[in-house]
Chain A
Amino acid sequence: MGKVFGAVAGVGAVGALYAMKKSWDPLPSVKAAGFTTVDLSAAEPNKLMVEKWRGKPIFILKKTPEMVAKQSAEQTARDIVVNGENFLICIGLCTHLGCIPAYREAKQDFKCACHGGEFDSSGIDTLAPPPSPMVIPPFNVKGNTVVLGEEGETYRQMKDAGVLA
Chain B
Amino acid sequence: MAHFTKATSVHDWLNQRLAIDTLQRVLSKEYWIPKNINFLWAMGMVLAFTFGILLVSGIFLLMYYQPHVDTAFDSVNFTIMREVEFGWLWRHVHAVAASVVFLIIYIHMLTGIYYGSYKKGREMIWISGMLLFVAFSAEAFSGYMLPWGQMSYWAGMVITNLFSLGSLEFNGLVEWIRGDYVPGQAFLDRFFMLHVLLIPLAILGLIGLHFGALRIPHVNNQDGEEFDFDEEAAKYKAGNKKESKVIAFANDFLSKDMFVVSIYLIFFFYLVFWHFGFAMDAINFDPADGLKTPPHIYPEWYFLWSYEILRPFPKDPGLVAFGFAQVIFFLLPWLDRSPNAVPASRRGLFFFWFWAMVIDLIILTAMGKLPPQGIYSTIGLFAAWAFIGLWVILPFITRNEKRA
Contact = CB atoms under 8 A, between A and B. Distances in A.
Interface string B355-384: 000000000000000001100010000000
A57 B315 contact: no
Given A115-B372, A116-B373, A129-B314, A99 B293 contact: yes
B215 interface: no
B179 interface: yes
Contacts of B318: 129
A26 interface: yes
A114 B371 CA distance: 8
B104 interface: no
Contacts of A50: 291
A114 B154 CA distance: 11
A132 B315 CA distance: 10
Nearest to A58: B291
A103 to B, nearest CB: 13
Interface in A128-144: 128-132
B291 to A, nearest CB: 5
Contacts of B292: 100
B158 A98 contact: yes
A14 B291 CA distance: 40
A129 B180 contact: no
B180 A116 contact: no
Interface stretch (B182-190, B236-244, B396-404): B182-190
A43 interface: no
A27 B293 CA distance: 26
B290 interface: yes
A56 B176 contact: no
B142 interface: no
A113 B290 contact: no
A25 B315 CA distance: 27
B180 A26 contact: yes
B313 to A, nearest CB: 8
Interface stretch (B87-95, B161-169, B221-229): B161-169
B295 A113 contact: yes
A97 to B, nearest CB: 5
B296 A113 contact: yes
Interface in A56-110: 56-57, 96-100
Contacts of A99: 154, 157-158, 293, 297
B182 A56 contact: yes
A55 B315 contact: no
B30 interface: no
Contacts of A161: none
Contact of A24 (B161, B176, B372): B176
Nearest to A101: B293
B335 to A, nearest CB: 30
Contacts of B195: none
B290 A56 contact: yes
B64 interface: no
B83 interface: no
B372 A55 contact: no
Contacts of A52: 290-291
A116 B184 CA distance: 27
Nearest to B179: A26
Interface string B143-161: 0000000000010011001
A131 B190 CA distance: 30
B314 A131 contact: yes
B181 A113 contact: no
Nearest to A51: B291
Interface string B300-320: 000000000001011110100
Contacts of B373: 116
B175 interface: yes
Interface in B187-233: 190
A156 interface: no
B198 to A, nearest CB: 12
A159 interface: no
A25 B311 CA distance: 30
B281 to A, nearest CB: 16
Contact of A27 (B154, B157, B179, B372): B179
A56 B184 CA distance: 11
B181 A100 contact: no
A82 to B, nearest CB: 23
A25 B179 contact: yes
A116 B316 CA distance: 17
Given A97-B158, A98-B161, A129 B315 contact: yes
Interface of B: 154, 157-158, 161-162, 166-167, 175-182, 184, 186, 190, 290-293, 295-297, 311, 313-316, 318, 372-373, 377
Give 3 nearest A-B pairs by CB, closest first.
A55-B182, A54-B181, A100-B293
Given A99-B293, A113-B295, A114-B296, 16 more contacts: A21-B176, A25-B179, A30-B186, A55-B180, A55-B184, A55-B290, A96-B315, A98-B161, A99-B154, A99-B157, A99-B297, A115-B311, A129-B313, A129-B318, A131-B167, A132-B167
17 contacts: A25-B179, A26-B180, A26-B181, A26-B186, A50-B291, A52-B290, A54-B182, A56-B181, A97-B162, A99-B158, A99-B293, A99-B297, A100-B291, A113-B293, A115-B311, A116-B373, A131-B167
